């Protein structure tokens, strides 16, 4: 049975949709966003699209410069390294390691952090105070230092790096969620729904979350850029991805010995990291900008 | 605003300060050499170790030996011992010491006497006598001397008088003198040891060294640098430079950067040779070090129990390509296990030619014309004698494929690799050998003798009585030309039997600024800065530049 | 102010306990024997080992072991390094000042360039200058520091040959280690080449300090910009301009002071960030600081050094935090009421 519309409904987009509408009107943010999507696509399909293997090299194609160089070869667009491994393929595989892993890392820590953060926001008293103090301590230590500490405990390796960065990012999400939930709970509409007899979790799920999701997303982009830099830095220091994994930081460290004879093995992975972080930060800026505009409306 | 102006003035004055001090710095840098070393020494006593990094930092800088090597032929020459005498049976060796050898005078020790027999006896008894009060200081391990079994060889060291000592050996051994001349057999100060015993700080003997060498230790900051000063009273002429600094730079690129930025004068193990060659103020030098990289066969396993198959493979491998790809052309092609810098090298050994057709014929004769499948074990790590065994294995795979042999490349983690090799699980393998001293026996016995098949250092399991007899005979005589003949025979047997295919003798590299003049590298053992001088006048620089212009690299053996 | 101090003291003690507890538990988390991890005595003879065990009270329960560990730390005994067998406390005392020196210079550079640029951006809000400064700061914030360091060496040391690429000072100069802070040591030394050494050390610090300063400088730009925009929107600025003060007068007399206070609060946080960046940069510029030492200890699995190094470094960072909190509170009475550290 078809339902008739009794009231004239005004379309009222969710806070998230409002944000998106502002966001897509900012060209720079959209540029960053499309780069971001491009990187995600590359992270998923890179291994299929890559023309060569990232680990096995061609012995007759050692240290080939990029194609635009005089001695370059079109079949290796970005040149090769000292073992004849195609730089383009290594960077493409590296996208899934550096960028893809950092994305997964952010998702995992976001879920865990938001869960703990919202639970803690509902508690108060001694437990809350201890959590607050501990968060203060942890947040005062820079993320990279903390990641180095955790890798020092777990031992070097790519999987340990991932866990380290996850553990580093969780407190940030706890902090932001807790703060946002507390702020939101003071507002009248939450009080209204509470007076209606909604359970705390119902309030959280239906009233608060839709209103804080944008702030968490903005934090997520910050976390993502930190995660990329942390994974790459650990890889560069030899504490993260191990040889022969084509993680960007590790590729750069591998190119270090060739810096003076084959500088592209250092330039290219560095540019890749820079590109990924800038794209992420542009998206983050876009979200923050949109948030600000929405508030001002 | 005033603040900003002040800061600005401060910077200006700073900059003007930077501008006006060239002259005095020149005089300081003229007398100092900075060497970029690849790592920190483990100790300052070379008796305790075998690592090249430690030898470089200690042996020739801080210490002297009884006797030493000299010249291209590596002949034994007097050092602290001004002469020596060997009895006819070769069992008693008497050394007559110099009377004018002073020890270092440093912040922590003031010598009261010159070197005498007590110091020599102390230095060797510390190693040989297990009950010696200093034997167990720093762990009690003397790997070099334990490898050559010095404890069994030397029965007793006798002090004849203050400047004469005699070694009583259990049997004649022609490599004994060679071993005394290695970088490991340094002379320490007994007087210093006594003083440390009184102060109850015996361990200082290895951390705060006192020797008789051309330089003395001034300061060591772990992992950062070692500062040496010239030993002014050195028994030879004092070194030409006053200050020698080892700048410890483990990063390969870091060492090259420092060299290019003129922050160090000489650098160990440089990378990017091409880049250095492009700079006409820099020189790249190399010596063929005493080592060999090879492809070995397990002769206990078919098909390599057949000599013809081994020969076939040796014809099928294109060593020149290996040299080009794996060593980047920076090594010498090996025709025998002995490098051509060794005095026992015999140039009559023919170069192994690359001839796949002959290889196929040989396989046919061996009854394997249809080809076969073999395992090739490639070591997983980079060693001086083989910078990239996996790459080499891949190239050999391609070569052998051409004559119908299919190769599976196998690799294990390094210690597993060595253990499994000892157990003989392999068919063929890529490995190498670095010599500890210039005595040719250091190649022949440990690598291929029958007894070495039991101790696990001969993993080809090749045991040939004729070969063993020849190398034993060579050890029992001290006549060099006779020994050379014996070793030539041994090499001929190897060339016929081919338990292993020698591939390359790689070089040791060093790069330096052209202002630094004088020999530093040696074919074996550590480096020495004793002969180094530094010129600062620009005119000389230009001259060296033109000298080098005809031949942009200055590679040669010294 | 008293309550504020007590609160901070409370936080400080809590943190120190947490950090030492973490460091204590590390000796059990690391592979190997915990007593050897904690003392670093890998070559100890059996009798020495018994002595060490007695000193750390390994027979007692875990609580007393922790108390024994605390006692050792308070006495400044951090064990010996497994790799070099030297006292870790002396090694840290030699290295930490070098890191502090580098970080302070970098902090100074970051503030010197970051804050004025941020103010300019705020004053030219939404104009091209603002956008350019913001975009540059975005790139500076995104650039991986190790890559930037390499590029800086290539350009300024190798290609241009202006600045040295590695170390604190040319090793030609023999400077005695007194405080560990190179500039002070040079001034205290009796070397005949004192002033040459001083200028050489100045040249050596420029490149690493600038590389470290890039990321914090961009953060200072943002902070200065936001706080200035905020201040310029306040009523007292409006009042001042209504009074007829010129724009310059308003900026220099009122706006800068008030916005600076807000920035100081973040200097502590930035300093922690800066020390981390310095750790990575030390590796590239072979700076003999604690970061390079710590990273090398991780390579060598020198657990005693890792454990103590982390403890000292995190304590140091936290102390800086508390100190800046105090300075902020002293400058700005309003802040004393705030409840938590950061």
Q: How distant is the Cα of C256 from the closest Cα of chain A, in angstroms?
A: 25
Residue range C188-208: mean pLDDT, rounded: 85
User: Is 60 exceeded by the pLDDT of residue B18?
Assistant: no
**Could you tell me if C285 and C184 lie in one domain?**
yes
Cβ neighbours of residue C126 closer than 8 Å, sequence gap 6 or more: none
C100-122 confidence digits (pLDDT tens): 899 999 999 998 998 889 888 88
Could you give the CA distance from residue B13 to residue B19 in angstroms, rounded to a whole number?
Answer: 10
| A277–chain C Cβ distance below 8 A for any pair | yes
Q: Would the CB atoms of C196 and B222 count as touching at under 8 Å?
A: no
Contacts of B272 in chain A (CB under 8 A): 257-261
**Could you tell me if C53 and C136 lie in one domain?**
no
**Hey, what are A17's tokens?**
């949709």
**Could you tell me if C57 and C107 lie in one domain?**
no
CB B263 within 8 A of CB C165: yes
pLDDT of residue A111: 93
Domain count for chain C: 2
How much is the mean pLDDT over chain C? 83
Q: Sorting pLDDT into bands at 50, 70 and 90, what band is B558? A: very low
Of B187, B212, B244, the one marking the end of a domain is B244
Nearest to C138 among A238, A259, A278 (CB): A278
User: Is 60 exceeded by the pLDDT of residue C295?
Assistant: yes
Q: Would the CB atoms of B221 and C167 count as touching at under 8 Å?
A: no
Strands B266-268 and B331-333: unpaired
Cβ neighbours of residue C212 closer than 8 Å, sequence gap 6 or more: C102, C103, C106, C110, C145, C274, C277, C278, C281
pLDDT of residue B76: 83
Residue range C121-126: mean pLDDT, rounded: 84
**Could you tell me if B341 and B454 lie in one domain?**
yes
User: Is 50 exceeded by the pLDDT of residue B295?
Assistant: yes
Distances (CA, A) of B123 to B192, B242, B375: 12, 28, 48
Nearest to B24 among C157, C167, C193 (CB): C193
User: Is 70 exceeded by the pLDDT of residue B455?
Assistant: no
Q: Would the CB atoms of C273 and A238 count as touching at under 8 Å?
A: no
Nearest to B257 among C153, C195, C196 (CB): C153
Residue C250 CA to its chain's centroid (Å): 34
Residue range B474-484: mean pLDDT, rounded: 82
**Could you tell me if C33 and C145 lie in one domain?**
no
Give exposure, A253-289, as e/b (b: 16+ Cβ within 10 Å): bbbbbbbbbbebbbbbbbebbbebbbbbbbbbbbbbb
**Could you tell me if B143 and B223 lie in one domain?**
yes
CB B94 within 8 A of CB B74: no
| A60–chain B Cβ distance below 8 A for any pair | no
**Could you tell me if C257 and C228 lie in one domain?**
yes
At A225, is the secondary structure helix, strand, or coil?
helix
Strand partners, C80: C87
Q: Would the CB atoms of C273 and A142 count as touching at under 8 Å?
A: yes
Is residue C15 in a domain?
Answer: yes
With CA atoms as reference, report the closest residue to A24 among A290, A211, A295: A290
Q: Which of residues 17-56 of A touch C (CB under 8 A)?
A: none
pLDDT of residue C8: 78
Cβ neighbours of residue C47 closer than 8 Å, sequence gap 6 or more: none
Of C39, C74, C109, the one marking the end of a domain is C74
Q: Which of A219-233, B244-258, C265-279 has the lowest mean pLDDT?
A: C265-279
Q: Sorting pLDDT into bands at 50, 70 and 90, what band is B273? A: confident
C17-61 confidence digits (pLDDT tens): 888 888 888 888 877 777 778 887 776 777 777 888 887 877 778
Q: How distant is the Cα of C147 from the closest Cα of chain A, in angstroms?
A: 6
Q: Look up tokens 């290219």; give the residue.
A: A268
Q: Which of B13-27, B177-191, B264-278, C230-244 has the lowest mean pLDDT?
A: B13-27
Contacts of C139 in chain A (CB under 8 A): 274, 278
Is residue C82 in a domain?
Answer: no
B332-365 confidence digits (pLDDT tens): 888 888 887 777 887 777 777 888 888 888 888 8
More confident residue, B428 or C76: B428
Is residue B352 in a domain?
Answer: yes
Inter-chain contacts counted by CB atoms under 8 A, chains A and C: 106
Q: Sorting pLDDT into bands at 50, 70 and 90, what band is C339? A: very low
Q: Sorting pLDDT into bands at 50, 70 and 90, what band is B216? A: very high
Domain count for chain B: 2
Q: How distant is the Cα of A111 from the closest Cα of chain C, in angstroms?
A: 24
Inter-chain contacts counted by CB atoms under 8 A, chains A and B: 25
CB B187 within 8 A of CB B123: yes
Other beta carbons within 10 angstroms of residue B175's beta carbon come to 20
Chains in contact with chain C (at least 3 beta-carbon pairs closer than 8 A): A, B
**Could you tell me if C200 and C51 lie in one domain?**
no
Could you give the CA distance from residue C70 to residue C92 in angstroms, rounded to a whole number?
Answer: 18
Q: Would the CB atoms of C150 and A237 count as touching at under 8 Å?
A: no
**Hey, what are B349's tokens?**
């050994």
Q: What is the pLDDT along chain A (297 residues), one digit of tens a residue?
A: 455 566 656 666 777 777 788 888 888 888 999 999 999 999 999 888 888 888 766 767 777 888 888 877 788 888 887 777 888 998 999 999 899 999 999 999 999 999 888 888 877 667 777 777 777 767 767 788 888 888 877 877 888 899 999 988 998 898 888 888 888 888 888 888 888 888 878 888 888 888 888 888 888 998 999 999 999 999 998 888 776 788 999 889 888 877 888 888 899 999 999 999 999 999 988 888 888 887 776
User: Is 70 exceeded by the pLDDT of residue B40?
Assistant: yes
Q: What CATH number corresponds to the domain at position B402?
A: 3.10.105.10
Q: What is the CA radius of gyration of chain B?
A: 26
Task: Supply the range of the domain harboring residue C64.
Answer: 2-74
**Could you tell me if C96 and C50 lie in one domain?**
no
User: Is 90 exceeded by the pLDDT of residue B120?
Assistant: yes
Q: Look up tokens 């022969």; give the residue.
A: A244
What chain B residue is nearest to A62 in terms of C-alpha separation? B325
More confident residue, C86 or A230: A230
Q: Sorting pLDDT into bands at 50, 70 and 90, what band is B246? A: very high
Q: How distant is the Cα of A140 from the closest Cα of chain B, in angstroms?
A: 30
Is residue C341 in a domain?
Answer: no
**Could you tell me if B474 and B370 lie in one domain?**
yes
CB A33 within 8 A of CB A285: no
Q: How distant is the Cα of A153 from the closest Cα of chain C, in angstroms?
A: 6
Task: Supply the range of the domain harboring residue B8.
Answer: 2-16+26-244
User: Is 70 exceeded by the pLDDT of residue B253?
Assistant: yes
Could you give the CA distance from residue B378 to residue B293 in angstroms, rounded to a whole number?
Answer: 12
Contacts of A261 in chain B (CB under 8 A): 272, 274-275
Q: Considering only CB atoms, which residues of chain C are within 8 Å of chain B?
A: 43, 84, 86, 91, 94, 153, 157-158, 161, 164-167, 170-174, 177, 193, 195-196, 198-199, 202-203, 286, 288, 293, 296
**Could you tell me if B203 and B120 lie in one domain?**
yes
How much is the mean pLDDT over chain B? 81
**Could you tell me if C186 and C302 lie in one domain?**
yes
Q: What percent of chain B has pLDDT over 70?
A: 87
Nearest to C161 among B25, B29, B261 (CB): B261
B361-389 confidence digits (pLDDT tens): 888 888 888 888 888 998 765 667 787 78
Strand partners, B505: B332
Could you give the CA distance from residue C26 to residue C303 in angstroms, rounded to a whole number?
Answer: 9
Q: Would the CB atoms of A257 and B325 count as touching at under 8 Å?
A: no
**Could you tell me if B152 and B215 lie in one domain?**
yes
Could you give the CA distance from residue C311 to residue A152 in angstroms, rounded to a whole number?
Answer: 13
| A193–chain C Cβ distance below 8 A for any pair | no
Q: Where are the alpha helices (DSSP H) in A24-86?
A: 27-49
**C-alpha distance across the termini of chain B, in Å:** 64
Contacts of B223 in chain C (CB under 8 A): 84, 288, 293, 296
Q: Which of A244, A260, A265 to mutate to test the interface with B (most CBs of B within 10 A)?
A: A260
**Could you tell me if C107 and C219 lie in one domain?**
yes
What chain C residue is nearest to A224 in terms of C-alpha separation? C142
Could you give the CA distance from residue C271 to residue C216 in angstroms, rounded to a whole number?
Answer: 8
pLDDT of residue B544: 37
Which class for C201: exposed (0-12), middle (13-18), buried (19 or more C-beta within 10 A)?
Answer: buried
User: Is 90 exceeded by the pLDDT of residue C130?
Assistant: no
User: Is 80 exceeded by the pLDDT of residue B47?
Assistant: yes
Q: How distant is the Cα of B523 from the closest Cα of chain A, in angstroms?
A: 26
pLDDT of residue A27: 85
**Could you tell me if C48 and C170 lie in one domain?**
no
Is residue B437 in a domain?
Answer: yes
User: Is 50 exceeded by the pLDDT of residue B545?
Assistant: no
Nearest to B253 among A59, A83, A257 (CB): A257
**Distinct helix (H) and strand (E) counts, chain C:** 14, 0
Q: What percent of chain C has pLDDT over 90?
A: 9
**Could you tell me if B179 and B296 lie in one domain?**
no
**Could you tell me if B298 and B393 lie in one domain?**
yes
Contacts of B275 in chain A (CB under 8 A): 260-261
Q: Which of B32, B224, B247, B251 to mutate to test the interface with C (most CBs of C within 10 A)?
A: B224
Contacts of A160 in chain C (CB under 8 A): none
Q: Would the CB atoms of B139 and C43 count as touching at under 8 Å?
A: yes
Give exposure, A213-238, as e/b (b: 16+ Cβ within 10 Å): bbbbbbbbbbbbbbbbbbbbbbbbbb
More confident residue, B487 or B522: B487
- Continuous segment of H or E residues that includes residue B266: strand B266-268
Q: Would the CB atoms of B25 and C193 count as touching at under 8 Å?
A: yes
**Could you tell me if C173 and C146 lie in one domain?**
yes
pLDDT of residue B37: 87
| B260–chain C Cβ distance below 8 A for any pair | yes
B490-530 confidence digits (pLDDT tens): 888 888 888 999 998 888 788 899 888 888 887 666 788 98
DSSP code of residue A9: P
Q: Would the CB atoms of C272 and A142 count as touching at under 8 Å?
A: yes
Chains in contact with chain B (at least 3 beta-carbon pairs closer than 8 A): A, C
pLDDT of residue B425: 84
Is residue B109 in a domain?
Answer: yes
Strands B92-97 and B32-37: unpaired
Is residue B553 in a domain?
Answer: no
Residue range B324-335: mean pLDDT, rounded: 80
A51-79 confidence digits (pLDDT tens): 888 876 676 777 788 888 887 778 888 88
CB A214 within 8 A of CB A18: no
Is residue B486 in a domain?
Answer: yes
Is residue C157 in a domain?
Answer: yes
**Could you tell me if B319 and B172 lie in one domain?**
no
CB B102 within 8 A of CB B111: yes
Q: How distant is the Cα of A137 from the closest Cα of chain C, in angstroms?
A: 6
Is residue C83 in a domain?
Answer: no
pLDDT of residue B556: 29
Of B464, B486, B506, the one marking the end of a domain is B506
pLDDT of residue B1: 42
B126-155 confidence digits (pLDDT tens): 998 888 988 888 777 787 777 667 887 888
Contacts of C202 in chain B (CB under 8 A): 14, 18
More confident residue, B508 or C342: B508
Is residue B208 in a domain?
Answer: yes
Q: How distant is the Cα of A206 from the closest Cα of chain C, in angstroms?
A: 30
Is residue B524 in a domain?
Answer: no
Q: Considering only CB atoms, which residues of chain C are within 8 Å of chain A?
A: 11, 14-15, 18-19, 26, 29-30, 138-139, 141-147, 150-151, 154, 158, 269, 272-273, 275-277, 279-280, 283, 294-295, 298-299, 306, 310, 313-314, 317-318, 321, 340-342
| Global confidence as pTM | 0.78
**Could you tell me if C61 and C128 lie in one domain?**
no
Q: How distant is the Cα of C253 from the closest Cα of chain B, in angstroms?
A: 12
Is residue C87 in a domain?
Answer: no
Is residue B502 in a domain?
Answer: yes
């Amino acid at each position: 049975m078809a339902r008739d519309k009794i009231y004239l409904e005004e379309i009222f987009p969710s806070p998230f949709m409002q944000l998106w509408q502002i966001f897509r009107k900012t060209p720079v943010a959209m540029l960053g966003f499309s780069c971001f999507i491009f990187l995600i696509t590359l992270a998923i399909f890179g291994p299929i699209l890559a023309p060569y293997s990232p680990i096995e090299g061609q012995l007759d194609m050692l240290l080939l410069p990029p194609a635009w160089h005089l001695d370059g070869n079109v079949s290796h667009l970005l040149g090769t390294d000292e073992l004849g491994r195609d730089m383009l393929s290594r960077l493409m595989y590296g996208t899934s390691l550096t960028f893809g892993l950092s994305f997964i890392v952010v998702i995992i820590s976001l879920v865990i952090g938001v869960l703990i953060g919202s639970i803690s926001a509902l508690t108060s008293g001694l437990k809350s105070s201890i959590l607050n103090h501990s968060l203060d301590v942890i947040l005062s230590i820079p993320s990279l230092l903390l990641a180095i500490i955790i890798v020092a405990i777990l031992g070097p390796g790519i999987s340990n790096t991932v866990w380290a960065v996850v553990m580093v990012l969780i407190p940030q999400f706890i902090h932001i969620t807790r703060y946002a939930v507390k702020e939101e709970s003071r507002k009248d509409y939450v009080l209204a729904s509470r007076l209606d007899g909604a359970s705390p979790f119902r309030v959280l799920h239906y009233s608060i979350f839709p209103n804080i999701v944008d702030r968490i997303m903005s934090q997520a982009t910050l976390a993502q850029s930190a995660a990329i830099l942390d994974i790459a830095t650990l890889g560069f220091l030899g504490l993260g991805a191990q040889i022969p994994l084509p993680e960007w930081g590790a590729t750069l460290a591998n190119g270090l010995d060739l810096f003076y004879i084959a500088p592209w093995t250092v330039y290219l992975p560095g540019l890749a990291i820079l590109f990924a972080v800038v794209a992420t930060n542009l998206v983050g800026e876009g979200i923050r900008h949109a948030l600000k505009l929405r508030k001002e409306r | 605003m005033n603040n900003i102006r002040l800061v600005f003035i401060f910077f200006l004055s700073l900059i003007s300060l930077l501008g006006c001090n060239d002259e005095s710095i020149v005089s300081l840098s003229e007398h100092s050499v900075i060497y970029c070393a690849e790592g920190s020494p483990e100790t300052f006593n070379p008796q305790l170790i075998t690592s090249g990094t430690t030898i470089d930092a200690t042996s020739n800088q801080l210490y002297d030996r009884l006797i030493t090597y000299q010249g291209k032929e590596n002949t034994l020459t007097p050092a602290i011992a001004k002469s020596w005498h060997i009895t006819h049976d070769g069992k008693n060796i008497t050394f007559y010491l110099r009377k004018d050898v002073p020890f270092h005078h440093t912040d922590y020790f003031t010598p009261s006497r010159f070197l005498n027999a007590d110091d020599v006896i102390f230095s060797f008894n510390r190693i040989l006598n297990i009950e010696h009060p200093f034997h167990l200081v720093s762990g009690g391990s003397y790997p070099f001397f334990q490898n050559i079994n010095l404890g069994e060889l030397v029965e007793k060291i006798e002090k004849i008088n203050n400047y004469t000592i005699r070694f009583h050996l259990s049997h004649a051994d022609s490599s004994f003198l060679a071993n005394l001349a290695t970088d490991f057999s340094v002379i320490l100060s007994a007087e210093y040891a006594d003083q440390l015993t009184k102060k109850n700080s015996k361990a200082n003997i290895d951390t705060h060294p006192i020797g008789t060498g051309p330089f003395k230790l001034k300061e060591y900051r772990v992992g950062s640098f070692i500062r040496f000063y010239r030993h002014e009273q050195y028994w030879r002429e004092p070194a030409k430079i006053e200050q020698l600094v080892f700048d410890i730079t483990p990063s390969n690129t870091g060492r090259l950067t420092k060299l290019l930025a003129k922050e160090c004068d000489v650098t160990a193990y440089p990378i990017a040779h091409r880049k250095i060659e492009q700079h006409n103020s820099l020189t790249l030098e190399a010596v063929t070090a005493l080592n060999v990289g090879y492809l070995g066969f397990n002769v206990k396993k078919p098909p390599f129990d057949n000599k013809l198959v081994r020969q076939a493979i040796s014809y099928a491998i294109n060593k020149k390509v290996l040299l080009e790809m794996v060593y980047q052309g920076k090594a010498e092609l090996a025709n025998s296990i002995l490098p051509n810098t060794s005095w026992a090298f015999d140039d009559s050994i023919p170069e192994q030619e690359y001839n796949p057709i002959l290889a196929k014929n040989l396989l046919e004769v061996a009854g394997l014309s249809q080809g076969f499948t073999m395992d090739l074990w490639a070591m997983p790590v980079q060693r001086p004698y083989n910078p990239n065994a996996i790459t080499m294995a891949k190239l050999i795979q391609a070569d052998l494929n051409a004559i119908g042999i299919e190769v599976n490349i196998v690799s294990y983690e390094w210690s597993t690799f060595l253990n499994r090799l000892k157990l003989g699980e392999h068919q063929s393998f890529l490995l190498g050998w670095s010599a500890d001293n210039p005595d040719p026996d250091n190649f022949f016995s440990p690598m291929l003798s029958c007894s070495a098949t039991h101790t696990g250092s001969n993993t080809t399991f090749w045991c040939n009585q004729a070969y063993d007899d020849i190398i034993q005979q060579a050890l029992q005589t001290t006549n060099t030309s006779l020994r050379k003949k014996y070793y030539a025979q041994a090499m001929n047997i190897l060339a016929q039997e081919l338990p292993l295919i020698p591939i390359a003798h790689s070089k040791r590299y060093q790069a330096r600024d052209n202002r630094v003049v004088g020999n530093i590298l040696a074919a074996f053992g550590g480096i020495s800065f004793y002969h180094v001088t530094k010129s600062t006048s620009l005119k000389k620089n230009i001259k060296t530049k033109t000298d080098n212009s005809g031949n942009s690299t200055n590679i040669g053996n010294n | 102010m008293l309550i504020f101090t007590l609160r901070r003291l409370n936080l400080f003690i809590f943190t120190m306990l947490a950090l030492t507890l973490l460091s204590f538990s590390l000796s059990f988390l690391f592979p190997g024997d915990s007593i050897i991890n904690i003392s670093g005595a890998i070559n100890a003879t059996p009798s020495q080992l018994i002595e060490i065990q007695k000193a750390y009270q390994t027979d007692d329960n875990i609580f007393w072991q922790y108390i024994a560990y605390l006692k050792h730390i308070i006495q400044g005994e951090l064990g010996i390094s497994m790799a070099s067998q030297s006292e870790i406390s002396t090694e840290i005392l030699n290295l930490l000042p070098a890191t502090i020196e580098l970080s302070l210079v970098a902090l100074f550079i970051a503030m010197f360039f970051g804050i004025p640029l941020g103010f300019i951006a705020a004053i030219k809000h939404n104009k091209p200058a603002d956008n350019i400064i913001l975009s540059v700061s975005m790139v500076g914030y995104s650039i991986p520091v190790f890559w930037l360091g390499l590029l800086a060496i290539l350009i300024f040391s190798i290609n241009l040959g202006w600045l040295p690429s590695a170390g604190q000072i040319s090793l030609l100069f023999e400077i005695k280690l007194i405080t560990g802070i190179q500039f002070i040591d040079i001034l205290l030394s009796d070397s005949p080449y004192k002033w040459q050494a001083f200028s050489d050390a100045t040249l050596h610090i420029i490149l690493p300090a600038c590389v470290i300063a890039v990321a914090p400088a961009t953060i200072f730009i943002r902070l200065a910009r936001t706080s200035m925009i905020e201040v310029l929107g306040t009523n007292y600025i409006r009042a001042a301009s209504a009074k007829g003060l010129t724009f310059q007068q308003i900026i220099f007399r009122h706006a800068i002071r008030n916005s600076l206070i807000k920035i100081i609060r973040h200097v502590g946080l930035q300093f922690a960030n800066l020390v981390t960046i310095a750790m990575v940069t030390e590796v590239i510029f072979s700076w003999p600081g604690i970061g390079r030492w710590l990273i090398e200890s991780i390579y060598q699995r020198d657990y005693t050094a890792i454990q103590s190094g982390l403890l000292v470094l995190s304590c140091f960072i936290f102390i800086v935090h508390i100190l800046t909190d105090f300075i902020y509170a002293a400058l700005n009475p309003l802040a004393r009421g705030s409840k938590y550290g950061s």
